[in-house]
Each structure stands twice: as C-alpha cells, then as structure tokens.
Amino acid sequence: MTLQEKIGQMTLISANLAVTGPKVPGDYMAALREGRIGAVSVLFGAEQTREVQRVAVEETRLGIPLLFALDVIHGHRTVFPIPLAEAATFDPDLWERTARASALEATADGVNFNYAPMLDVSRDPRWGRIAEGPGEDPWLASRFAVAKVRGTQGDDIKKPENMAATAKHLAAYGAAQAGRDYHSVDISERTFLEVYMPPFKAAVDAGAVAIMPGFHDLAGVPMTANKEVLNDLVRDQWGFDGVMVSDYNAVTELLAHGAAGDMAEAAAAALKAGVDIDLMGDAYAQGLAEALERGLVSEADIDRAVRRILDLKEALGLFDQPFSRGNPDFLPPLQVKAHQNLAREAGKRSIVLLTNHDDILPLSAPPPQIAVIGPLADNPDEMLGPWSIVGKGEDMVSILEGIETAFPACEIAHAAGGAVRDAADGDIAAAVDVASRADLVILCLGEEAIMSGEAASRAELDLPGRQSELARTILDMKKPVIALLCSGRQLCCPWLFERADAVLATWFLGSEAGHAIGDVLSGRHNPSGRLPVSWPVDVGQIPIHYQPRPTGRHPNYQERYSSKYLDLPVEPQFPFGHGLSYTRFEVTEVVASPTEVGPGDEIVVQADVINRGERAGEETVLLFVHDPVASLARPVLELKGMAKAHLEAGQKTTLRMTLNTDDLAFLGHGLKPVLEPGDLHILVGPNADRSSLKEAFIRVRTGSA
C-alpha cells in the first residue's frame, strides 16, 4: 500500500448528512476512487451503499471495501425508547433484543459500523447526553454494555445481519464540568476507574470491536490524545485489539484544546495515543504525511493502525462478501411488525410511575370526558427523541392518538396550550377552556427532543417556556390531573409532584410512544419501570447520585454543623431505583450464605418477595452491598445484582442472586484490587432509599482479589 492509501484507510468522511460539525468538502467519490477514503458516515439505504461499495471494490487500485457507519443509538427505522428510558427497565434481555432489532434494520440499509452503544455514566442531568446513556450506576451500565454489544454484533460479527459495535465515549465524558457538553473533566483517578471505566471494560470483555474516545479533556489531556488511557490501559492492560475511531472532528480539535500546534502534531498525538480512524477531521489526511517526515510518527505506527482497520473489515466479512449487507430481504413484513411490537413493549416497560396519589391510576373506569392538554400531546415528531437519524415523525404514535385508542368510549378533547418553548396568552386560555369541560386532565409536558442529546446542556431543569404557567393554571381548577413528563433527563418541578394526582416519566419513547402510554394509563400494563438515576429536587443538588461516601458529619437537619443545605433537602426527589406499581410488593426476608467467605467463594443471596396488592405485576429487586469499615471510605451503597419476579396478587416467591468475592473487592491504596476482611452488609429492596432495604450480613476473611 502507498502512504496515501494507508492514510485513506484511516480517514472517515460524512457523505450526505452532517449533524455535529463541518460539512464534507468537495466530491468524496473522487477521493474514494483515489484510495483516500476508508469509511463513510451517514450513508444508508441498500441502493446507495451498494453503489458506493461497488466503486470502492471495483474502481480503486486495491479494491478494499468500505465501512459504512451510522449512529444507531436507539433504533433505526423502528425507534425504541432513548437509552436512559430503556435503562429504566433494568432488563438486559430487552436491551439485547432492541439492539438486535436495530442491527437487523440498519444492516438491511447497508450499515456495518454502529457508533453505539453510548456507555457514559452520568450524574448530572444538566448534561444533555445523559439521554443517550444508561444512567448513573457503573454496575447497571456494565450490564447495559454487554447486552448492547451482544445485540449489535450477534454471535458472529461476520454474518450480514450483524454490525460492529462502538463503545463510546471513553471515558468520563458524562462528568463534564457544570454539565456543559464538550467541557473539561477533572476528577480523581479513583473515580475515573471505579465509576466511569467499568462499562467500557465490560464492553471490551463482551467483544466490542471498536471504541470511540470522548471530545473532552481529562485533567488537561484531551481524550483523543490520551495515550496513558487509550493505549497503556485499554490496549495494553485490557488487551483491546480492535479499532479506535475519533469522535467527529476531534483530532483537529486538539489544536483548539491547545494540545497541538499544527495539524501534523494533532495527527501524531492521536495516532500515538491509539486512534486508528479520524472521523471527519481531515487531520490524518492533512497531517500524517508531514508528521512522518518530521519524525513525529513512524511508518510502523501507521501500519499498526491500518492493520487493525483491515482486520475489522475482514472480521465483518467485507473482503469475501462486500455486498452482503444492504439487503431489504432482511426485513419481511412480519419482522417489521415484530419490531413495532417490541417498541411498544420497550416503551411501556420504560415508563416510570413517579407519583400516584390516592391511586388515581390506572384508569380502569375512565371518566366520560378527558382533556389532553400540552404541547407534547399531539406532537409525534418529538417522540423520536434525540439521535434518531432515520426514524420519521409521521411514523410515530402521538400521545393523543395513544390515549384515543386506549379509551375509545371516552370523549377526548385536545388543546396544545402553546409550544414547548413559547405560548401566547390565548393558547393557555384555549387550553383552560377545553380543560374546564373535562372530568379529567392529562397534561403532556416536557422538552423538545432537540433539548436533549448532544450540544443540549441546560442550566435550569424546570419546564421550558410557559409550561409551568399552563400546568399551574390547570391545577388551580381543582380537577383530577395526570402529568406526563416527556424528556431526556430528570426535570426539577417539585410543585408538580406535590399537586398533580399522578406523574409519570414517559421520556422519549419512540415509534410506539402513544400506545405504550395508553397501555399504562389504562392498566393494560402495570408500570414496572425504575429510575436508573437519582431525581433531584433542584439543580442545587447536582451532581447527585446514590453512591456518596459517608462523611464525618452525616446530614442532620437538627444539627447546624452537619453536611446539609440550608435551603434544600439532601435527599433526592426520588431515589435511584424508584418506580411505583399498581400493586404493592414487599421483600419480607433476606438470607445470605455462607455467612463467612474468602477469596474465590460464591455468596448466594435469597430474598422472599410477596405481592400484597390486588393486581399482577413485575417487581425488580436490587442487591446492594456496603462495607462499613475499610482502609478507604466506601460508598454508602453499591449495586451488585438484580432480579425480577412476575407475581399474581397474593403470590410469593424466592429470588436468588449470586455474588463472587471478586464483586466485593475494591481499588485499595495504589489503585490495586483488594478484598479486605471484615463484616459486610448485604441489602436488598426496590430502590436506593436505605429505609426500603432488608439487610443481611456476611464476614469476609482476609485475602487479595
């Protein structure tokens, strides 16, 4: 290969749609024919990808096939709930099934390289990209990672219905200062390794073939050029031998970071760190040859990167069958219908019932007249959520349509009350007039889809526009009110939780949003979603999560000199794992055995669960541990397991969860894993509120993990 052809394999361009940065320059087909492009983003469709692949295979000197990359974050043509919503199901099997359906649809459109899963743990809902990830907990995010990699890559990545999974954005991108996207991250090495890296290690162990570093810098070192993390840790220590692809324009942005003085230095820094493919920055194309001439990189550095890229193309089967993807036959009508059904299942199971005063829900006997009010009621485009490139608004089921379908005998009236970010006095007055004639009001409030996701940080987390005014005016009418919150993050509106009769987090649920909501409101589905994040009362509590370390002065509202606020509670509005049901579950007993363990031993935790309500339902039980005395202060709770029970009214079952003593180890002094002796608390229950948990104890014998 010539140097130009090698650098071409390392260059990824955006073909026909650029959503995060500069447009592609010039005629990329000419560059392709000259061997200067190895991968193409945002080109999909069987006919289009096959033709461009034909040019790569038949009209270039070497005939090396292309990677076709796309952000298939939460569905392709069928749109599933945003990842934060889907994480609320606490169900790895569902996560894998939706990834599998997405892979089938995307590969039918010729895509073979997915910029997903997004695995950034985030504890700051001001950061818009919290919508794209699995929430605040590293253990849950690690399970999410494994499921999404399996669903995307299948049992054999070479099969035409499978595509490459890219674990992104390594790592700690979700800890951007002040929740401001692309901003610096400055955290301890311990927090980096304990909180933000585990999902990426899980993805690597599950066989993810690609990794994308984040835009951010970590303590002054841009991640795109962070050799210590990308190469020394991920490649050398973890054994990752796949492809690393930069984020959009991130190599060129090393100049803006102040980490490189010119394009050659930027290209050299990224390549030396382990980045194989330059996504839309043109830095490798412009700078690598000069970097080689100046001795900043060696040809061996370039060869290593190219070899990894070619190995990935070989693993995908592209050399043998370059046109195997891009086959509409992958998706017969029955398969498409199955994906719609799956979207409905995922949607209704992602909904979290936050409050339900006086058990107003479900609407088993709905009133004759229902008013559906709010800017998101009849707005199917917004149900797409952020990062839905291929899905179409006209294919989404609106909330209004779902409610009309769920309650066919009711008279349903609708008024928008204005737009999400703007409303005139007349808009609110019209909505009040419609509500005045109804027996029940369903308020559909929240964000526009574009207000979550990339470049969508928010300093305030209340309802945008005049929605608060609209909601308060409706609430003042003293009618029964159910509020639906459509958003990509937690919204701080404690007054709404207090005054509305019920509030549900309905997120952005995708293709079947309206039907999923109708299923829950009507009681056809008993809500089972749980918060994968702590829900703050106010932005003043952020960052917020359930894993703080104990302080020497625990919060005590009667003691001035304790760790508390003067003007806010310390506790969140709703804890991690919160989610109500139409029935009532109780964990009655927890037993851990054996009660004394040493290195390599397994612990079996059994929890008796009973449905004390009058309806069948699904209960998710979470297993936490706490090490009360250690050489380093440990978090007050750490999630280490979960189990589900489907119980009829009055039914009782025993759930069984297992731990290994490796699960009890932590990074000690020197950041090496240790298993320390002492008593350990095993806590089981529905959420991270300590008062809701049943407790057992084990003793750990001395040893090293």
Spatial distance between the Cα atoms of 527 and 522, rounded to a whole number of angstroms:
11
pLDDT value at position 25?
46
pLDDT (0 to 100) of residue 501: 98
Residue 113 lies in a domain: no
pLDDT of residue 329: 78
Higher pLDDT, 15 or 306: 306
CA-wise closest residue to 199 among 131, 117, 125 = 117
Cβ 386 vs Cβ 508: under 8 Å: yes
pTM: predicted TM-score of the whole model, two decimal places: 0.96
The angle formed by the CA atoms of residues 564, 567 and 571, to the nearest 5 degrees, is 50
In whole angstroms, what is the distance from residue 643 CA to residue 605 CA?
A: 11
φ, ψ at 641 (rounded to 5°)? -175, 165
Does 439 lie in the same domain as 370? yes
Picking from 540, 557, 575, the residue at the C-terminal end of a domain is 540
Residues paired with 678 in a beta bridge: 700
Per-residue pLDDT band for 703 (boundaries 50, 70, 90) equals low
| CA–CA gap between residue 15 and residue 338 (Å, rounded) | 31
Residues 358 and 444 in one domain: yes
Identify whether 306 is part of a domain. no
Asked if 582 contacts 673 with a C-beta cutoff of 8 angstroms, the reply is: no
Contacts of 196 (CB under 8 A, 6+ apart): 120, 121, 138, 171, 172, 174, 175, 187
For the chain, the C-alpha Rg in angstroms (whole number) is: 26
Task: Provide the pLDDT for residue 327.
Answer: 84
> Mean pLDDT across the chain, nearest whole number?
95
Active-site annotation holds for 247: yes
Per-residue pLDDT of 204-250, as tens digits, reads 999 999 999 999 999 999 999 999 999 999 999 999 999 999 999 99
* Residues in Cβ contact with 450 at an 8 Å cutoff, skipping those fewer than 6 apart: 386, 456
Q: Are residues 376 and 510 in the same domain?
A: yes
Residues contacting residue 113 through CB under 8 Å, at least 6 positions apart: 39, 67, 68, 69, 70, 163, 164, 166, 210
| Together in a domain, 513 and 591 | no
Which parts of 143-213 are beta strand (E)?
Answer: 164-170, 210-213
Work out the angle at residue 678's Cα, subtended by the Cα atoms of residues 674 and 683, and round it to the nearest 5 degrees: 95
Taking 50 as the threshold, does the pLDDT of residue 18 lie above it? no
Q: Answer yes or no: is pLDDT of 631 > 80.
A: yes
Please state, in angstroms and rounded to a whole number, the distance separating the CA atoms of residues 172 and 176.
Answer: 8
Q: What is the CATH number of the domain that holds 375?
A: 3.40.50.1700
In the beta sheet, which residues pair with residue 411?
A: 369
| pLDDT tens sequence across 441-486 | 999 999 999 999 999 999 999 999 999 999 999 999 999 999 999 9
> Considering only CA atoms, which of 193, 118, 187, 125 is closest in space to residue 149?
118
Number of residues assigned to the chain? 705
Q: Are residues 512 and 606 in the same domain?
A: no
Is 22's pLDDT higher than 50?
no
Strand order in the sheet with 164-170: 243-244, 210-213, 164-170, 113-114, 67-70, 39-41, 11-14, 278-279
Span 566-573, mean pLDDT? 96
- Are 126 and 457 within 8 A, CB to CB? yes
Q: Give the span between the Cα atoms of 415 and 421, in whole angstroms.
A: 16
**Shared-domain flag, residues 512 and 385:** yes
Please indicate, yes or no, if residue 271 is contained in any of the structural domains: no
Q: Which helix (H) or strand (E) holds 11?
A: strand 11-14
- Beta strand pairing status for 440-446 and 411-415? unpaired
Amino acid at 638: E
Dmax over CA atoms of the chain, in Å, equals 79
* Rounded CA separation 511/381 (Å): 10
Q: Are residues 493 and 613 in the same domain?
A: no
Band the pLDDT of 705: cuts 50, 70, 90: very low
Q: Mean pLDDT throughout 291-300?
A: 98
The answer on pLDDT for 23 being more than 60 is no
Mean pLDDT of 425-449: 97
With respect to residue 373, please indicate whether it lies within any of the assigned structural domains: yes
Give the residue among 615, 398, 400, 395 at the shortest CA–CA distance from 524: 615
Residue 260 is encoded by which pair of tokens? 């490189």
402 and 518 in one domain?
Answer: yes
Distance CA 99, CA 208 (A): 13
Q: At 390, which amino acid appears?
A: V
Distance CA 454, CA 457 (A): 8
My answer on whether 475 and 369 are in the same domain is yes
pLDDT value at position 693?
97
User: pLDDT per residue over 48-100, tens digit each?
Assistant: 999 999 999 999 999 999 999 999 999 999 999 999 999 999 999 999 999 99
Q: Does 460 fall in a domain? A: yes
Task: Provide the pLDDT confidence category of residue 16 given band limits of 50, 70 and 90.
Answer: low
Query: Is residue 519 in some structural domain?
Result: yes
Parent domain of 489: 346-540
How far, rounded to the nearest angstrom, does the alpha carbon of residue 632 sit from its chain's CA centroid?
30
**pLDDT given for residue 366 in this prediction:** 95
Neighbour-count burial of 450, counting CB atoms closer than 10 A to its CB (0-12 exposed, 13-18 middle, 19+ buried): middle
| Catalytic-role residue among 109, 120, 124, 247 | 247
Q: Structural domain tally of the chain?
A: 2
In a shared domain, residues 518 and 602: no
**C-alpha torsion 302→305→309→311, nearest 10:** 110
Tokens (6 digits) for 116: 């997903």
Mean pLDDT in residue range 347-357: 98
* Shared-domain flag, residues 531 and 589: no
The answer as to whether 619 is a domain residue is yes
pLDDT tens track for 384-412: 999 999 999 999 999 999 999 999 999 99
| Whether residue 525 sits in one domain with residue 382 | yes
| Domain endpoint, select from 540, 571, 598 | 540
The answer as to whether 482 is a domain residue is yes
Kindly state the percentage of the chain with pLDDT values over 70. 98
CATH of the domain at 625: 2.60.40.10
Q: Reduced to 3 states, what is the DSSP secondary structure of residue 404?
A: helix
pLDDT of residue 14: 87
**From the CB of residue 516, how many other CB atoms can be counted at a distance below 10 Å?**
28
Tens digits of per-residue pLDDT, 146-205? 999 999 999 999 999 999 999 999 999 999 999 999 999 999 999 999 999 999 999 999
Confidence of residue 17 (pLDDT cuts 50, 70, 90): very low
Nearest to 351, CA basis, from 213, 518, 599: 518
